[in-house]
Structure 1
Amino acid sequence: MKTVLITGTNRGIGMEAALAVGRAGHKVFATTRNPEKAFNLKQQIKDESLDIHLYKMDVDSDESVSQCINTIIRDHGSIDVLVNNAGIVRHGSIEELPLAKFKAVMDTNYFGAIRCIKAVLPSMRKNKSGCIINVSSMAGKISLSPLGPYCASKFALEAMTEALAQELKPFNVRVSLIEPGIINTDMAHEIGQNEQSLYPQVRRIGHFWDTSLQSPVPPSLVADKILEAIESSSWQLRYPVGPDAEPFWSWRTSMDDEQWVDWNAQEDKEWYSAVESTFGMNCRPGELEKEK
């Protein structure tokens, strides 16, 4: 049995991860900014009598992270596993999106993970034991407009995690990245919300996401992969998750950078036709409404 701290457990991947790890017999410290809103998680904990303890923690705050993790270590001893799952998405063209939203997504998705890592590392390093799992995304390997701000945060997380793995292996602390594709979460549906923009990519990616989510991949699939990484003794760094994750990466690497830019810079008519011929998916405006 391991003690596992998971951030961002109010819903989606974080909630499913907390439940999967708890059901596997581990003690879970499930953290969220607003524990009072974690109705579904609380009900599942009660119904299944799971060893899951809910804590209030805002990964954007140095004080909140320090206070929460110090309290857990004081009351329960060392933390064996940290799962950095808390994340937000902000999307839009680089020109139109306010700078504050760029800062917000970096603060949560990148600096939030670093805050938690720095809080648990001294004891892991001293004990020469532990595991840090950072939930990234295929967006941490593939930059796609209008997800520039989100991709930037995940690219940063991937780079930092790769360096961290090098630093911690001599101390017997395993480090892993979970890289989901398109998963059926509230955050994914936020990307599908079409917005007015001068740039066609903002509108088109909404149509693409909405169509993709018609064949939903549940967040429990990611939770199972997180559990696999927790219970593994492997030093594997990256864990792609979902039916589209590895194929999408293979498709991206089949093009050079200039071809990738050109593919996404096409006019609407050509872009929608390219999506249909490449993925067999018609995401033209109005198609979803016809199906409904």
Structure 2
Amino acid sequence: MYLLKGDEMSTTARTSPARTVLITGTSSGIGLAAAVAAARAGWRTVATLRDLSRADALRKAAADAGVDLDIRQLDVTDEASVAAAVAGVVADHGRLDAVVNNAGAGHVGTLENDSLADIRTVMEVNFFGVLNVSKAALPHLRAVGGRLVTVTSVGGVVGQPFNEAYCAAKFAVEGYMESLAPVARTLGVAVSVVEPGAVATEFVNNIGIDVEGGLEAGPYTGALRTYVDRTVAQFLDGTAQTPAGAAESVMEALTAAEPAFRIQTTDWAREFVGTKLADVDGSAVQSLTSAWVA
């Protein structure tokens, strides 16, 4: 059963005592896997995406898993869309117990070549989009002592070459949520961030550059080619984590009795983030990431 926004809700959906979770960015990758995993675990799962015409993979994954999803449109950058989606979920399901902020967009570039408009777009989706959804949801999460979970990245802790705008947005999310967490906790809401490393999703298609064609970045062309070759190899050599594996960490944040604030999805991610958190003068990270572009 797929319940699209505007469709008449079934009696079962209206009266179900199941906890309700809203997940953004579920057309593919971690969001899709998390939606299926939450539904399997018994959550009434509202799987949202900006463009409902891209929901085919989500519907197929739900059918293959034998679970029901309530699929709705939500554009995290549009305050009216967010407000309508959250209000609709509460009206139809009676409560909102958790939110998983997963929607986001990758971007590869560097300051001298990017326009400020490019950078603002990255911030709008990856940072302000998270705030839009979280702000609309918090009154409802307070009412039930719920969970606010945001999928960030190891790039929210460690700055990475040619990911300046993306890492800036993810750093901003982590700083905001780290600051919000103790405040929300006073009213019963647990705030967590989930930090994946490389995940075998659609990275190459989502970074906004022509990997197969000739890369051109002016004086940065050589460094960009070195970075892209290294990164694509990481995603294609079988070492990248599966979306389902990353979704297990999302479920940990949703279900643990006392979820940690910061949850890495693999041992590699824990080690990578740990390098930064122990790197008081920044030399360890600079030595590590400089090798990616040398």
Into which bin does the TM-score normalised by the smaller protein fall?
Answer: 0.7 to 0.9
In structure 2, distance between residues paired with 1:182 and 1:47: 25
Contact 1:181 1:243 in 2 (8 A): no
Alignment CA distance shift 1:259-1:53 (3 Å):
closer
Q: In 2, Cα distance between the equivalents of 1:10 and 1:31? A: 8
What is the percentage of aligned positions where both structures have the same residue? 31
Confirm or deny that 1:148 pairs with 2:190. Answer: no
Gaps of 5+ in 1: 272-292
Residues 80, 128 of structure 1: CA spacing in aligned structure 2 closer, same or farther, 3 A cutoff?
closer
1:160 shift after superposition: 0.5
TM-score by length of 1: 0.85
- Matched to 1:207, the amino acid is D
State the shift of 1:100 in Å.
1.5
CA drift of 1:52 comes to: 1.1
Query: What TM-score does the superposition give when structure 2 sets the normalisation length?
Result: 0.85
Does residue 64 in structure 1 map to residue 51 in structure 2? no
Could you say what the CA RMSD is over the residues aligned between the two structures, in angstroms? 2.1
1:156-235 to 2 correspondence within 5 Å? 156-187=172-203, 190-191=206-207, 194=211, 195-197=215-217, 198-199=219-220, 200-213=222-235, 214-215=237-238, 216-235=240-259
**AA partner of residue 143 (structure 1):** G
Q: Distance in 2 between matches of 1:92 and 1:188?
A: 14
SS at match of 1:233: coil
Q: Equivalent residue for 2:30?
A: 13
Change (3 A) 1:265 1:224: closer
State the AA in 1 paired with 2:98: V
Partner Cα distance (1:89, 1:240) in 2: 19
Worse-matched range after superposition: 97-106 or 187-196: 187-196
Indicate if the aligned counterparts of 2:98 and 2:141 stay in contact, CA closer than 8 A: no
- How far does residue 247 in structure 1 lie from its aligned partner after superposition? 2.1
Measure, in 1, the Cα distance between the counterparts of 2:41 and 2:153.
24
1:256 aligned residue (263, 272, 281): 281
Instruction: For residue 58 of structure 1, give the secondary structure of its aligned residue in structure 2.
Output: coil
SS of equivalent residue, structure 1 residue 102: helix
SS, match of residue 83 in structure 1: strand
What per-residue deviation string (whole Å, max 9, x for no partner) do you get for residues 57-104 of structure 1?
100101111111111111111110000000001111111012222111
Instruction: Give 3-state SS (helix, strand or coil) of 1:205's partner.
Output: helix
Aligned counterparts of 2:58 and 2:291: Cα–Cα separation in 1:
44
For the residues of structure 2 that align with 1:265 and 1:242, how far apart are their CA atoms? 23
- Read off the aligned partner of 2:119 and give its amino acid letter: F
Runs (5+) with no aligned partner, structure 2: 1-17
What are the residue-to-residue correspondences of 1:278-289 with 2, within 5 Å? none
Residue 260 of structure 1, CA deviation = 3.9
Give the 3 Å change call, closer, same or farther, for CA 264–165 of structure 1 in structure 2.
Answer: closer
Deviations 1:108-139 (A, max 9, x none): 111111111111111222x2511000101000
Question: SS state of the match for residue 25, structure 2?
Answer: coil
Counterpart among 115, 139, 153 of residue 98 in structure 1: 115
Aligned to 1:282: none
How far apart in 2 are the matches of 1:158 and 1:203?
29
Evaluate the alpha carbon distance shift between residue 132 and residue 188 of structure 1 in structure 2; reply closer, same or farther with a 3 A threshold.
farther
1:246 to 265, 270, 284: 270
In the aligned structure 2, how far is the partner of 1:267 from the partner of 1:66?
Answer: 42
Flag the 1:57–1:267 CA change in 2: closer, same or farther, 3 A: closer
State the SS of the aligned residue for 1:234: coil
